[in-house]
C-alpha cells in the first residue's frame, strides 16, 4: 500500500492473513489507527513503514505490537519524523536481520535492548539531529555485517562496543561532522572489508593500528578537512584493492614530512591494489617508486594535486592499468 494518503484506519481483516510474509505501507500520511489484528501476523518477515509523519502516540501503539512479530527479519521505519524513542517491544525480534532507521529526526534515545537482536546483520541509521549517544548494547551484535551511520551530526564518540562486532564487514561514517576520534578498539575488526569516512569534518586522528585490518579491501576518506595524521603502517593492508583520498587538505604530516615516504614506500606491499585515487591533495609534491610494484592496479586518478612536481617513474610495471587520469598540474616538470 503505497501513497495511500487518505487512509486513516488499517484494514480490519488482518487477523485472517495469518501467512502474510511482507507488508509495505509507504507514505500513508494520515493513518491514525492500527487494529488488533496486526498482532496476529506471526509469520510476517518484512515490514516497511516509510515516510510516515503520524503522531508519536500512534507510533508508540504500533511499536507496542512488535512482540508478536516473532519471525520478522526486515524492519524499515524511515522518515518517521515524530518518533522520539523506541519501545521495549524490540526485545522480542530475535530473528531480525535488517533494521533501517533513516531521517527519524526527533529520535532522542536509541535502543537499550540491542542485546536481544542477536541475529541482526545490517543496521542503518541516518539524519539524527538530537541523538547524542549510542549505547553499549552494540557489543552484543556479534552477527552484524554492515553498520552505516549517515548525517549523524550530534555523534562525538564511536560506540565502545565495536570490538565485539567480530563479523563486521562494512563500516560507513558519512557526514558525522562532530566525530573527532576513532577508538583504538576498532583494531579488532579483522573481517572488515570496507571502511568509508566521508565528510567527518572534525576528525583529527585516524586509527594508528591498521595492521589488524588484514581483510580490508576498500578504504575511503573524503573531505576530512582537519585530519592531520595518518598511520605509517599501510603496508600491512595486503588485501586492499581500493584507496581513495579526497580533499583532506590539512594532512600536513602525510603530505610533506616523513610519513609521506613511509606511507608510499608501503605501497610495495599493497600488491592487490586495483584502484588508487588522490584528489585535491594540494600539498603533495612527489610520488615515490613504490608504484612500480602495483602490478594489479587498474585505475590511477591523480586530480588537482597542484603542487605535484614529479610523476612516478615505475609506470612501466603497471601492466594491467586501464584508466590513467591526471589533471590540473601547474608545477609538473617530469
Task: Write the pLDDT tens digit of every residue in 312-332.
Answer: 666 777 889 999 887 766 666
**Per this entry, what is the length of the chain?**
334
Chain-centroid distance of CA 329 in Å reads 33
Q: Does pLDDT of 266 surpass 70? A: no
Q: 115-140: per-residue pLDDT in tens? A: 678 899 999 877 776 666 665 567 77
pTM exceeds cut of 0.75 = yes
**Are the CB atoms for 148 and 123 separated by under 8 Å?**
yes
Q: Does pLDDT of 19 surpass 80? A: yes
299-303 and 218-222 as β-strands: parallel, antiparallel, unpaired?
Answer: unpaired
Higher pLDDT, 270 or 298: 298
Query: What integer pLDDT is reported at residue 214 of this predicted model?
Result: 82
Query: What integer pLDDT is reported at residue 40 of this predicted model?
Result: 74
Query: What integer pLDDT is reported at residue 169 of this predicted model?
Result: 94
Q: 83-120: per-residue pLDDT in tens? A: 766 655 676 788 999 998 887 776 766 655 566 788 99
**What does the DSSP 8-state code read for residue 314?**
G
Reported as type and span, the H/E element at residue 254 is: helix 252-256
Q: How far is it, in rounded angstroms, from Cα 163 to Cα 189?
A: 7
Which of the four pLDDT bands, split at 50, 70 and 90, describes residue 15?
Answer: low
Which of the four pLDDT bands, split at 50, 70 and 90, describes residue 37?
Answer: low
Query: What integer pLDDT is reported at residue 261 of this predicted model?
Result: 39
Q: Once rounded to an integer, what is the mean pLDDT over residues 245-270? A: 53
Q: Measured in Å, how far apart are the chain's first and last C-alpha atoms?
A: 63
**Are the CB atoms for 82 and 106 separated by under 8 Å?**
yes
> CATH code for 1-131?
3.80.10.10
Question: Which of 15, 7, 4, 70 is CA-nearest to residue 38?
Answer: 15
Amino acid at each position: 500500500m503505497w501513497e495511500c494518503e487518505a487512509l486513516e484506519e488499517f484494514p480490519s481483516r488482518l487477523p485472517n492473513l495469518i501467512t502474510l510474509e511482507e507488508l509495505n505501507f509507504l507514505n500513508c500520511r494520515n493513518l491514525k489507527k492500527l487494529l488488533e489484528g496486526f498482532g496476529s501476523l506471526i509469520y510476517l518477515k518484512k515490514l516497511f513503514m516509510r515516510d510516515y509523519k503520524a503522531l508519536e502516540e500512534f507510533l508508540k501503539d504500533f511499536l507496542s505490537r512488535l512482540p508478536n512479530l516473532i519471525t520478522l527479519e526486515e524492519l524499515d521505519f524511515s522518515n518517521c519524523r515524530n518518533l522520539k524513542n523506541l519501545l521495549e517491544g524490540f526485545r522480542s525480534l530475535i530473528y531480525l536481520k535488517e533494521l533501517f532507521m533513516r531521517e527519524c529526526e526527533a529520535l532522542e534515545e536509541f535502543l537499550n535492548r540491542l542485546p536481544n537482536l542477536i541475529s541482526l546483520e545490517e543496521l542503518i541509521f541516518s539524519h539524527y539531529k538530537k541523538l547524542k549517544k549510542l549505547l553499549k548494547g552494540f557489543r552484543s551484535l556479534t552477527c552484524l555485517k554492515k553498520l552505516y551511520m549517515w548525517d549523524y551530526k550530534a555523534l562525538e564518540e564511536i560506540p565502545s562496543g565495536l570490538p565485539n562486532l567480530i563479523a563486521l564487514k562494512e563500516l560507513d561514517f558519512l557526514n558525522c561532522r562532530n566525530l573527532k576520534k576513532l577508538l583504538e578498539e576498532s583494531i579488532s575488526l579483522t573481517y572488515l572489508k570496507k571502511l568509508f569516512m566521508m565528510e567527518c569534518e572534525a576528525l583529527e586522528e585516524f586509527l594508528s593500528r591498521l595492521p589488524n585490518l588484514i581483510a580490508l579491501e576498500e578504504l575511503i576518506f573524503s573531505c576530512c578537512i582537519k585530519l592531520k595524521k595518518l598511520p605509517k603502517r599501510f603496508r600491512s593492508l595486503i588485501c586492499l584493492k581500493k584507496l581513495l583520498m579526497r580533499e583532506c587538505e590539512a594532512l600536513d604530516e602525510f603530505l610533506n614530512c616523513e610519513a609521506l615516504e613511509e606511507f608510499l614506500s608501503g605501497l610495495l606491499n599493497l600488491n592487490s591494489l586495483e584502484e588508487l585515487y588522490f584528489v585535491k591533495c594540494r600539498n603533495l609534491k612527489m610520488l615515490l617508486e613504490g608504484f612500480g610494484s602495483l602490478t594489479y592496479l587498474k585505475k590511477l586518478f591523480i586530480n588537482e594535486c597542484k603542487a605535484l612536481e614529479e610523476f612516478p617513474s615505475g609506470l612501466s610495471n603497471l601492466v594491467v592499468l586501464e584508466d590513467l587520469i591526471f589533471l590540473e598540474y601547474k608545477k609538473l616538470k617530469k
